[in-house]
């Protein structure tokens, strides 16, 4: 299907980054088995310094640390791009690992923002997350804006916040214009992100799902692979490369 496809969209969730050591949300032992998602709405974050302290604590413990490296699945997708087969990656992840694996930034659409920056809600200055982590390491429990002491918020989309509209629009149109849509590592239960695979199906694209557990959209998939993303995508791209080199 990949060799025959002209425009492939890869749609990734937290499951693509678990092999990089970042916990996902809904697997056993995932983030939401340790923290209550209701604590992590934008309303809570703005409501009290205590809520902000808790959220910064969860973010630093929950894999915000910047040591995570791309894994085989991220590199396989970057190779799809170098083989000229990738239209774009639409990701729910905020870990920047697709870009670090070599997918050009203008081909990665981050529906839930990105944790590489923090933004001040008063003066709107943006700061590298590394700088904010440094402040936390030095004992600041609730980092505020180094410029105006306003509330500093990670650039990721919190529950209750609207998604970046431009990104959502582009992701929607790319999903509607691809001929193969590959979901990797997502439970497909959070909207509007989880509309993307259906936009692709409705537009006549084929759907493949690589995910360890079942999803509500499994019945629409032409291909369903319940195996780990790293080994699966690495094997798949190896076969694609061989087929493409044979057919010249």
Residue ranges binding ligand APR (CB under 6 A):
13-15, 18-19, 24-27, 30, 92, 112, 185-187, 190, 211-213, 228-229
Q: Which two tokens stand for residue 96?
A: 């920047």
In the complex, the smallest distance separating the C-beta of residue 4 from ligand APR, rounded to whole angstroms, is 24
Cβ-in-10-Å burial (0-12, 13-18, 19+) of 235 comes to: middle
CB of 159 to ligand APR, least distance (A): 7
- Determine which one of 74, 98, 112, 149 is catalytic: 112
Tokens of 64: 């915000």
Cα–Cα nearest to 26, from 196, 186, 230:
186
Contact 186, 14 (CB under 8 A): yes
Are residues 225 and 209 in contact, defined by beta-carbon separation less than 8 angstroms? Answer: yes
Q: What is the CA radius of gyration of the chain?
A: 19
Q: Least distance (Å) from ligand APR to the CB of residue 138?
A: 28
Please report how close the Cβ of residue 30 comes to ligand APR at its closest, in angstroms: 5
Name which of 37 and 49 has its Cβ closer to ligand APR: 37
Shorter beta-carbon distance to ligand APR: residue 73 or 152: 73
- Of the pair 112, 135, the CB lying nearest ligand APR is at 112
Which residue is associated with the tokens 């694609």?
240
How far is CA 152 from each of CA 94, 114, 131, 144, rounded to the nearest angstrom?
Answer: 17, 14, 12, 5
Q: To the nearest 10°, the Cα dihedral for 238, 244, 245, 248? A: 180
Q: Are 184 and 208 in contact (CB under 8 A)?
A: no
Nearer to ligand APR (CB atom), residue 73 or residue 88? 73
112 annotated active-site? yes
Q: How far is the CB of 8 from ligand APR (least distance, A)?
A: 18
Residue nearest to ligand APR (CB): 15
Mind telling me the catalytic residues?
112
């Amino acid at each position: 299907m990949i060799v025959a496809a002209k425009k492939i969209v890869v749609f990734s969730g937290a499951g693509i980054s678990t092999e990089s050591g970042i916990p996902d949300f809904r697997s056993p032992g995932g983030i939401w088995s340790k923290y209550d998602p209701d604590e992590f709405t934008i309303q809570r974050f703005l409501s009290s310094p205590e809520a902000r302290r808790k959220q910064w604590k969860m973010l630093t413990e929950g894999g915000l640390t910047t040591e995570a490296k791309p894994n085989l699945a991220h590199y396989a997708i970057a190779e799809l791009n170098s083989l000229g087969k990738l239209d774009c990656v639409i990701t729910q992840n905020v870990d920047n690992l697709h870009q670090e694996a070599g997918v050009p930034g203008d081909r990665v659409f981050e529906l839930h923002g990105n944790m590489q920056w923090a933004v001040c809600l008063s003066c709107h200055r943006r700061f590298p997350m590394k700088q904010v982590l440094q402040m936390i390491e030095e004992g600041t429990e609730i980092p505020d804006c180094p410029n105006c002491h306003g509330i500093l918020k990670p650039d990721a989309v919190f529950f209750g916040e609207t998604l970046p509209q431009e990104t959502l629009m582009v992701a929607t149109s790319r999903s509607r214009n691809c001929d193969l849509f590959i979901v990797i590592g997502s439970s497909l239960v959070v909207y509007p992100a989880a509309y993307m695979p259906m936009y692709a199906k409705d537009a006549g694209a084929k759907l493949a799902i690589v995910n360890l557990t079942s999803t509500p959209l499994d019945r629409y998939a032409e291909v369903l692979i319940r195996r780990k993303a790293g080994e699966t995508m690495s094997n798949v791209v190896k076969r694609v490369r061989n087929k493409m080199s044979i057919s010249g």
